[in-house]
Amino acid sequence: MLTSTGIIVITGEDTYAHTPKSKATPSQDLTWLEYLKTHTPEELIDLRKTAYTYAYGQEGQTFYEILHADAARFTVFNKAMMQQEASLPTLGMFPFSSLQPAVDAEPDRLAAGADRRETGDSFGTGSRLVLQDRSFALDSVPQELLKGIEKCPYDFCTEQPVKKYNIFFLRRITHNYQNGGCTTILTNIAAAMGPTSRLLITEAAIPARATPGEDLAPYCMDMLMISIGGKERAARGNLPPCSPARACIS
């Protein structure tokens, strides 16, 4: 965010320098500075000791536990997420209909989608669909908006309850976690996949270097995600390490 607005400059990989703008920027009210002074790098990626939990004085809980405890805030969050989803074109980037032959050959093997309702009607394969998320997230989506889609409460860091599906689709899931959490998620999915199962992952890839004047949204999202223990990944290394999950990514 600071480099894309020209407040600081990037001098090398993960190396930055002050500018007159940064030196003139007040910092006494920034929670991030106090958090970084009082927490270790390991705590930054601990889902229960993040900058968000620190700012709300609720360390020991996760971002989603804090969010769900406030009904009004959770409602606003859901509406904001739905509005953001409407502006993302990524669902049209993969030809889901090309998987139709595999679905027709084994119709009892479902497609498991991991995201909100916008995912479900975008496969175009005519297969049964399962939407997985935490219970409170699924409960916030009326069933009438999920025609032909089954809800399946699920914690992505636990054993995958559905086995050998045609498609396992993770949409905007891995950016909620650092590499260790992503490896756990991918390991669980790899164990549940059949010989011809496909794993599709949809995430944003941010540029390695920011250019002043460009779209700030990717960098804003990166700051938001790291404040809750996740991260947006740069184009040079968008996918988390997958070798421990025994998955072949192409």
What is the number of other CB atoms lying within 10 angstroms of the CB of residue 87?
7
Burial of 148 (0-12, 13-18, 19+ CB in 10 A): exposed
As given in the structure block, the two tokens for residue 31 are 């929670």
Pairing outcome for strands 15-17 and 149-153: unpaired
Residues ≥6 apart with Cβ < 8 Å to 41: none
| 3-state SS assignment for residue 151 | strand
Answer for the pair 242, 249: CB distance below 8 angstroms, yes or no. yes
| Catalytic site positions | 175
Place of tokens 């636990």: 158
